[in-house]
Chain A
Amino acid sequence: MSDSILAGEIALVTGASRGIGAAIADELARLGAKVAGTATTETGAARIAERLGAAAEGCIGLCLDVTKQASVDAALVAVEEQLGSKPTILVNNAGITRDNLLMRMKEAEWDAILDTNLTSAFRLCKACARSMTKARHGRIINVSSVVGVSGNAGQCNYAASKAGLIGFSKSLARELGPRGITVNVVAPGFIDTDMTRELPEAQRDALLASIPLGRLGAAEEIAAAVAFLAMPAAAYITGQTIHVNGGMLMV
């Protein structure tokens, strides 16, 4: 496989300062795309720029709050100014958790998750759809989660947001398909990141026992699936969810 298979593509990856998002940004850059990785802080953005810049030319870090439309608009302008065009690849990866049992869950915990994990995709896809439609080319990849399909006690809000991404992506895939734009989902299982390191030991062990491959996934293994969906080879795949979870859920 050529290392410059994504040459000429402009990729926007949200939540790229660490974990899965960082691995996705690195992989797309390695494959030749110009990548804009976003973080919620200026220092995070600077670190992304440094990391991506060391590996590939023409990659940048941006400060973006996915819950603010004005911030999304500004980021899109910055991508166009600094990388030469609007994104041709959009990866909605930014996400947070606020776990709690439903009976204890505050409405604010619900709202924060839906806004950051789901409404963010609405904002970013809408902002990118216009230029992709004009270009008759675009790849949108939304990062969901195994729990969006399987459910998980204590994660009603998170699971709802991640399941929402799947329905959203299928609908958008139908809307934009006629214009050569694909919209797909990657649903990671139990991946070794800061987010999963916060889980209690007992829950971690129980989860591990339910994974046929018997180990946590690596962020790079999610990045590989995302990168595939961005490649020319994946042009006929749209509206799909690729589960990368070591077999813990088979759909």
Chain B
Amino acid sequence: MSSVEERVRKIVVEQLGVKEEEVTMDASFVDDLGADSLDTVELVMALEEEFETEIPDEDAEKITKVKEAVDYVNAHLG
């Protein structure tokens, strides 16, 4: 079983079409990884599927970096 961090990073790589080494914990989806606003919506959709949960819009808006996604999953599905 992969760790939450590995699973999140894998999704980011797939969704945004970026290289694995670019997906550092501090990377911002928009500023560092070239995501547009629709990409970030789709990224949250993919996270919801991977972790079988629903992320409310108000929480989703706060997930702007890889670390924030990992933290969110750990906090809500731990």
Contacts and interface: CB of A to CB of B under 8 A. Distances in A.
B42 interface: yes
Contact of A134 (B36, B38, B45): B45
- Give the interface size class of chain A: under 10
A175 B45 CA distance: 16
Interface string B26-39: 00000000001010
A30 interface: no
A178 B45 contact: no
A162 B58 CA distance: 31
Contacts of B36: 178
Contacts of A133: 38, 41-42, 45
Main SS at interface, chain A: helix
B11 to A, nearest CB: 13
Interface string A151-195: 000000000000000000000000110110000000000000000
A175 B38 CA distance: 8
A45 B45 CA distance: 32
A106 interface: no
B27 to A, nearest CB: 22
Interface in B8-46: 36, 38, 41-42, 45
A179 B38 contact: yes
Contacts of B41: 133
Contacts of A175: 38
Nearest to A179: B38
Nearest to A134: B45
A73 to B, nearest CB: 13
A130 interface: yes
Nearest to B36: A178
B51 to A, nearest CB: 16
A179 B42 CA distance: 11
A178 B39 CA distance: 10
B10 to A, nearest CB: 17
Contacts of A134: 42, 45
12 contacts: A130-B45, A133-B38, A133-B41, A133-B42, A133-B45, A134-B42, A134-B45, A175-B38, A176-B38, A178-B36, A178-B38, A179-B38
Interface of A: 130, 133-134, 175-176, 178-179
Interface of B: 36, 38, 41-42, 45
